[in-house]
Amino acid sequence: MPLSSAEVEKVALLSRLLLGEEELRRMTAQLGDVVEYVRQLDELDTTAVEPMAHAAELSNVFAPDEVQPSLDRELALANAPKRDDECYRVPAVLGD
Amino acid sequence: MSLIKASATDLLGYLQSGQVSAVELLKQYLDRIETHDGSIHAYLDVAREAALERAESIDRRRSRGERLGALAGLPVAVKDVLCTAGWATTCGSRMLQNYCPPYDATVVRRLLDADAVLVGKTNMDEFAMGGSTENSAFGVTRNPWDLTRTPGGSSGGAAACVAAGMAPLSVGSDTGGSIRQPAAYCGVVGLKPSYGRVSRYGLVAFASSLDQVGPLAATAEDTALLLEVLAGHDPRDSTSAKVPVPDYLLASRQPLGALRIGLVREHFGAGLDSEVDAAVREAVDWFRDEGAEVKEISLPHSRYAISTYYIIAPSEASSNLARYDGVHYGYRTDERAMLGELQESRQRLLQEGDNAGAENLDGTLVRMYRKTRAEAFGPEVKRRIMLGTYALSAGYYDAYYLKALKVRRLIRQDFDAAFNEVDVIMGPTTPTPPFRLGEMIDDPLKMYLQDLYTVSANLTGICAMSLPCGQTGAGLPIGLQIHAPAFHEHRLLQAARAFQQGTDWHIRRPDLC
C-alpha cells in the first residue's frame, strides 16, 4: 500500500473533505493505485530540466491602472447560501 | 423540409436567403429534443421560451434589413460549465445546483453578439472531471449510437446533442480530451484550440493551465465557423493570446498542398483496439493517396503523459475548487445538524475521558467547510481534490508536482522536435470505441488511462481535433485525432475539411427510433 489510511485522512482534512469509513477505505485503495502509477516519473532524470508551469509561458501581463466598474454588491451576494444586507454570513467562529 | 441533417454552413445560407426562418429552424430542433432527449439526456436545461423569443427577434431584425452576426439564427448548445447570466450554471454538480451566474462567459457573450440562439445547457461530468458523463450529479448522458454506451466526457452532452441532431453547433471545454474524446465516441467533430486561443473568462475553472473552450459540430467547416466566433483576445483573461484570428472557414477551404504527416510510433502499440487501429491507418492512407508524405516519428516521453497529467490537473483542481466553501455561493450543509453533530461528538469524547480528542475536533467553520464539500461533491471530484492536495502537500511537492512540471517540458520538447519534421501529427483519438456505461466506474486508474492520446495537447498547449474516420463492425464511431503546432488551427481544419470532401464518415448519423 503506497498510502496509509491515516495519511489519506490527513489529506481529507487538508482538502476540507470529510470521509465516512467505507469512503476512506475505498479512497485509500484508489488513491494508492494512482500514486503508485504516477511514480513511474521517477525513472526519468530531470535534474537539468526547467519546470513548465504553464502552456503559455507569459510574464507580466499588465492592464492599464484604470478604475473600472466591478460587480454590484447585490449581485455578488445574490447566490450566497446565507447573507444579510451587506455581508456573507458564516457560523460563529469566535470562542471556538 | 427537414433541416436536421443539414450542415450549419448550409443552414446559414437558408436563413440568409429567407428559405427558412430562425423560428422554423429552432422549432425543428426543439421537436427533435422533445422526441429524443428523454432517452439520451444530452441537455440539463432547454431554454425553449427564451430561445423562441430570441429567434423571433432575429427574424424581425433580418426582415428590417439589419446587419446580423456571423451565426444569426443558428441554434447553439452550451456546456453547463460556461457562465450564462441569469441562467443556472451547474457544472453537473450538486454544489452549483442552484447557482445563477451574475455575468456571461466571454464566449457566451461572443455567441450572443454573433446572434446565435442559445438553445440549452448540456450535461457533463461534474466540474468537467471524467470521460463518460457518468460523474454528472444529474444523470448520465447516453451515446446516440448505442444507448447502453457512454457518449464520452466530460463534454458528453455537447457531443451527443450534435450526433443526435439536437443542435447543429455546440460549445464544450477540454482539459485533457474532454472535447475530442466525446467527439470521437459520438461520431462528430471536436476541436481543442491552442492554449490562449479562446478566452477562459466565465469558464468554471478546473485546471487553469490546461483548460480551453472549443467547438463541436458535424463537419470541419461548421467547426471553423464556430471557432471563428469563439476565438480572440480578451482583456478579462490575461492568458488569452494577442494573436489575430484568421477567417477559419475560408482557411479550411484552401487546397491541402503537400502535407507532411507524422505517425507516432508510441501511439500504435499495446492497448490500441484493432478496429480503431485499422480505421485510423485507412484514414492516413487516404491522405497519402492525396499526395501527403507520411513518416513515422517518435514522442519518446509520451508514455509519461498520463502520469504527468494526473499530477498537474488534480493539483490545479485542488486549488481551484477550494473556492467552494459554502460561503460565497453554492451549496451549504444544514448548519443546525452540523453543529448538533459536533456537540454530540465532543460530549461523547469527554465522557470517554478523551480530552485530547475533544480538543482536536474541527472548529465550527472548518467542519462547515468539510460537511458542505463532502455532501455536495461527487466521488471523482473528491478523488481529484485529494490527489492534488496530496501532490502539493509538504514533503511531496518536489517528488510529484515539481517532477511533473519538469516532465511536462520534456513532453513539450518532443512535440517541438516533431513539428520540425512534420506539419501535423495524426493518430487515434481514443484507444477503444465507446465503452459500456458502468464498465469503468469502479476503476478510476483504468478510466484515466483512456486519456492516453489526448492529454499531451493540453500539457503542451498545442491545438488538436478529432473527426470521424470509421466505424467498428458493431457500428460504433471511431475518431481520428490531428495535432498541429500552437495557433495552427487553420491547418487542422484544412486537413479535416479535405478528408470530409473525399469521404462520408461525417455524414453518417445514428438511427434513432
As a whole number, mean pLDDT of residues A22-37 equals 96
Q: How distant is the Cα of B232 from the closest Cα of chain A, in angstroms?
A: 15
Residue of A nearest to B326 (CA): A81
Encode pLDDT of B364-375 as tens digits.
999 999 999 999
Three cell numbers, residue B389: 492536495
Q: Which of A38, A46, A58 sits opposite B400 (nearest CB)?
A: A38
pLDDT category of residue A62 using cuts at 50, 70 and 90:
confident
Contact B287, B257 (CB under 8 A): no
Judged by CB atoms closer than 8 Å, whether chains meet at B304 and A18 is answered as no
The confidence score (pLDDT) of residue A56 equals 81
Average pLDDT over residues B327-334: 96
Average pLDDT, chain A: 92
Percent of chain B with pLDDT over 70: 100
CA-nearest residue to A27 within chain B is: B383
Q: Contact, B368 vs A81, CB < 8 A?
A: no
> Considering only CA atoms, which of B399, B401, B410, B509 is closest in space to residue B163?
B509
The model's confidence at residue A59, banded by pLDDT at 50, 70 and 90, is confident
Q: Which three cell numbers stand for residue B81?
A: 460549465
Distance of CA B176 to CAs A23, B129, B343, B366, Å?
26, 9, 44, 32
| Residue B255 confidence (pLDDT) above 80 | yes
Stretch A44-57: mean pLDDT: 92
pLDDT at B310: 97
Is B327 near chain A, with CB under 8 Å? yes
Residue B188 has pLDDT above 90, yes or no: yes
pLDDT band (50, 70, 90) for residue A95: low
| Mean pLDDT to the nearest integer, B423-441 | 97
| B477-501 average pLDDT score | 98
Q: Tell me whether residues A90 and B389 touch, CB distance under 8 A.
A: no
Return the residue of A nearest to B442 by Cα. A30
Q: Which of B21, B132, B154, B456 is catalytic?
A: B154
Query: Among B305, B272, B310, which residue's Cα sits nearest to residue B427?
Result: B272
Kindly state the DSSP code that residue B191 receives in the 8-state scheme. E
pLDDT tens for A81-93 read 999 999 999 988 7
Q: How much is the pLDDT for B513? A: 64
Whether B194 is a known active-site residue: answer no
- What pLDDT is stored for residue A58 in this prediction? 79
Residue B178 carries which DSSP code?
Answer: T
State the count of interchain CB pairs (< 8 A) between A and B.
Answer: 170
Chain B contact set for A93 (CB, 8 A):
363-365
Chain centroid to Cα B350, Å, comes to 51
Please compute the mean of the pLDDT values over residues B334-359 and round it to a whole number.
Answer: 94
Domain regions of chain B by residue span: 8-257+492-507, 325-376
- B493/chain A closest Cα distance in angstroms: 22
Confidence of residue B40 (pLDDT cuts 50, 70, 90): very high
Residue B142: its pLDDT value, please? Answer: 98
Quick check: is B79 catalytic? yes
Give A64 or B329, the one with higher predicted confidence: B329
Helix (H, G, I), strand (E, B) or coil at B140: coil
B8-17 vs B22-40: helix crossing angle, rounded to 10: 150
What is the mean predicted confidence (pLDDT) over B397-413?
97
Would you state the pLDDT for residue A57?
77
Average pLDDT over residues B483-507: 98
Average pLDDT over residues B158-177: 98
Query: Inter-chain contact B407–A18, Cβ cutoff 8 Å?
Result: no
DSSP B444-486: HHHHHHTTTTTHHHHHHT-EEEEEEEEE-TT--EEEEEEEE-T
**Three cell numbers at B45?**
436545461
CA distances from B188 to B144, B151, B416, B502 (A): 11, 11, 28, 16
Q: How far apart are CA B464 and CA B179, in angstroms?
A: 10
Measured between CA atoms, the residue of chain A closest to residue B410 is: A49
Q: Please indicate if any CB of chain A lies within 8 Å of the CB of B408.
A: yes
> What is this model's ipTM?
0.95
The pLDDT of residue A96 is above 60: no
Residue B193 near chain A (CB below 8 Å): no
Distance from CA of A1 to the nearest CA of B (A): 15
Place of cell 448505442: B146
Express as a percent the part of chain B with pLDDT over 90: 97
Q: For domain B8-257+492-507, which architecture applies?
A: Alpha-Beta Complex (3.90)
Beta strands per DSSP E along B113-168 = 117-122
Would you give the distance in Å from CA B420 to the centre of its chain? Answer: 29
pLDDT tens per residue across span A68-80: 898 999 999 999 9
**Could you say which DSSP state residue B87 is in?**
B
Active site residue B242: no
pLDDT for residue A61 is more than 80 = yes
Class of domain A5-43: mainly alpha
Asked if B330's CB is within 8 angstroms of A81's CB, the reply is yes
Extents of the domains making up chain A: 5-43
Structure confidence at residue A1 (pLDDT): 64
The residue behind cell 490527513 is A10
Q: Reply yes or no on whether the pLDDT at B453 is more than 90.
A: yes
Residue B102 touches partner A, C-beta closer than 8 Å: yes
Residue B463 has pLDDT above 70, yes or no: yes
The alpha carbon dihedral of A82, A87, A90, A92 has a sign of negative
CA distance A49 to chain B (A): 6
Is pLDDT above 80 for B101?
yes
Give B263-331 as a 3 state SS string. EEHHHHCCCCCHHHHHHHHHHHHHHHHCCCEEEEECCCCHHHHHHHHHHHHHHHHHHHHHHCCCCCCCC
The whole-number average pLDDT for the span B258-286 is 96
Mean pLDDT of B337-355: 95
